[in-house]
Amino acid sequence: MRNGITPRKKVFFLFLLPLLLIVASFWVKSLLPAAFILDGIILIAILIDLAISPGYKKDLKLDLEIPKGFAVHTENSCTLKIQNRNRFPLKFHFLLDLDVCFKRDYGKELIRVYPKDIYEHKFKLTGNRRGDFRVKNIFIKGVSLLGLLTFYRKFPMDLLIQVSPSLSFHSSSLKLVQKEIRRSEGSHKNRVFGDGTNFEMLRDYIKGDEYSRIDWKASARRKKPVTRIYRIENSLDISILLDSGRLMATEIEGMSMLDYAIHASLILSYAAAKNNDRVSLTVFGKDIIRSIPKTKDMKVVKKMKAALSDIQYDFYESDYQTAFSFLQSSLNKRSLIVIFSDMIDDSNSKIYYKHLSLIKKNHMVLLVLLRDKTIFELADQKIDSSKAIYLKAAAADMALRRSKTIAGLRKLGVEVLDLFPEKVSMAVIDSYFYFKRSW
């Protein structure tokens, strides 16, 4: 948008009256001077409006405040600080030069600022894509004092918006996490004690206790033998393997499959942190893109948000051989392996069989496959043309081969979730707590 001034619609309507008088002057010649006089009055009104209107440039100052934790698919509260140094009130709309992945509902509201006033305009900004975005300009569409002209102004700005994954997007999944945590807290009252590493309490020495467990300082204070009791550690190591190749680029309801997988991974890390489990992450496409070592507590959620905020799908075939080899080299303890990917076809099913059969011997595996709705809708569609026959046959063949591959993996002992993307988060959390209870 360029700086400029244009007449508003009401100006064209005002000029219609003298135009009608000019047309009527073909029959009544005395109307022609009246038409020119009326034209002059309208032009003078436009010039006066231009002269007394503020102009929306020199005496207008704008400052934009954006929250640091800008969450995707969430209404984020932002503030536009406006300082009007003019002697006249201002009325305008504004837009930020962000791309179409940001909703522009905020630009519909007309802002009014009184003369010599400082006003803070609160608005909601929603981003539908993760990543870093820069606001370089604020565009103003202002109305003149008499309402005859529209002013277009561009205010330079340099502000970075970092859109990161949001936990609040899947509130139902979070509720399930909280429910399961409350249940597990009740079951942990009867803790298992033994040769663990987590200190639990001190108690009086009982015949048969190992001498190495005696706390001599506490014994000296109490003047009797005191033994340290340790709790058997039941924490679980979770390794997340996230596919960001071309198959994850399919969009469903404004979100890519990769976005759904990222949200599920984030909620899984939150649940693990609440249960004192450790989580690692590997993102891969045609190569290993990003890796986070095992981390526990809520630190893992922050690390996951930072690591996944700018991850985007690419249009290359994912290298599953490299991904599985990297995963196996990083595993040093029995773990739960959670793999997020899309359809397994004939070209990579052998790689899955080869590596998962080896991994399954020492680890638990949860394979999460995100279904492409288009394929299953085509497979179930009614045939109404010759083209529909081929589409239905191709989609049905893909679905059938997918089912056979999944059945073969389940025979290996791999737990497979084959779901539409919007159901993935809940199912992954359910499976995580199932593995946690059986650990």
How many folded domains does the chain comprise?
Answer: 4
Domain range spanning residue 429?
234-438
Distance CA 333, CA 381 (A): 47
- The pLDDT value recorded for residue 284 is 93
Residues 64, 115 within the same domain: yes
| Arithmetic mean of pLDDT, 30-36 | 87
The strand pair at 415-419 and 364-370 is best described as parallel
pLDDT, tens digit, for every residue of 49-98?
A: 888 887 777 788 999 998 887 888 888 999 999 999 888 888 899 999 98
- The pLDDT value recorded for residue 193 is 46
> Is 251 domain-assigned?
yes
The pair of structure tokens assigned to 241 is 């393997």
Which CATH number do you get for residue 124?
2.60.40.10
- The pLDDT value recorded for residue 368 is 94
Quick check: helix, strand or coil at residue 81? strand
Residues 67, 213 within the same domain: no
Mean pLDDT of the chain: 84
Contact 247, 345 (CB under 8 A): no
Cα distances (angstroms) measured from residue 187 to each of 179, 180, 269, 304, 371: 13, 11, 21, 29, 36
- Angle at which helices 257-274 and 299-308 cross, to 10°: 170
Beta strands in 17-102 (DSSP E): 60-65, 70-71, 76-84, 90-96
Distance CA 264, CA 124 (A): 25
Neighbours of 337 (CB within 10 A): 22
Which CATH number do you get for residue 430?
3.40.50.410
- Residue for token pair 């400052």: 63
Contact 11, 148 (CB under 8 A): yes
- The pLDDT value recorded for residue 395 is 83
Q: Which of 126-135, 175-184, 358-367, 372-381 is predicted least confidently?
A: 175-184
Rounded to the nearest 5 percent, the helix, strand and coil shares of the chain are 40, 30, 30
Distance CA 132, CA 309 (A): 8
The strand pair at 131-143 and 90-96 is best described as antiparallel
The pair of structure tokens assigned to 435 is 């593995």
Contact 64, 78 (CB under 8 A): yes
Residues 255, 228 within the same domain: no
Residues 266, 387 within the same domain: yes
Residue 27 amino acid letter: W
Residues 13, 70 within the same domain: no
The pair of structure tokens assigned to 393 is 């046959």
Query: Tell me, what DSSP letter sits at residue 98?
Result: -
The pair of structure tokens assigned to 233 is 């550690």
The pair of structure tokens assigned to 321 is 């051989």
> Is 171 domain-assigned?
no
Q: Is 201 exposed, middle or buried (0-12, 13-18, 19+ CB in 10 A)?
A: exposed
> Is 104 domain-assigned?
yes
> Is 243 domain-assigned?
yes
> Would you place residue 345 in the very low, low, confident or very high pLDDT band (cuts 50, 70, 90)?
low
Question: Is residue 120 pLDDT above 90, yes or no?
Answer: yes
Distance CA 367, CA 414 (A): 7
Q: Give the residue from 144, 164, 184 where a domain finishes.
A: 164
Residues 285, 385 within the same domain: yes
Question: Is residue 2 pLDDT above 80, yes or no?
Answer: no
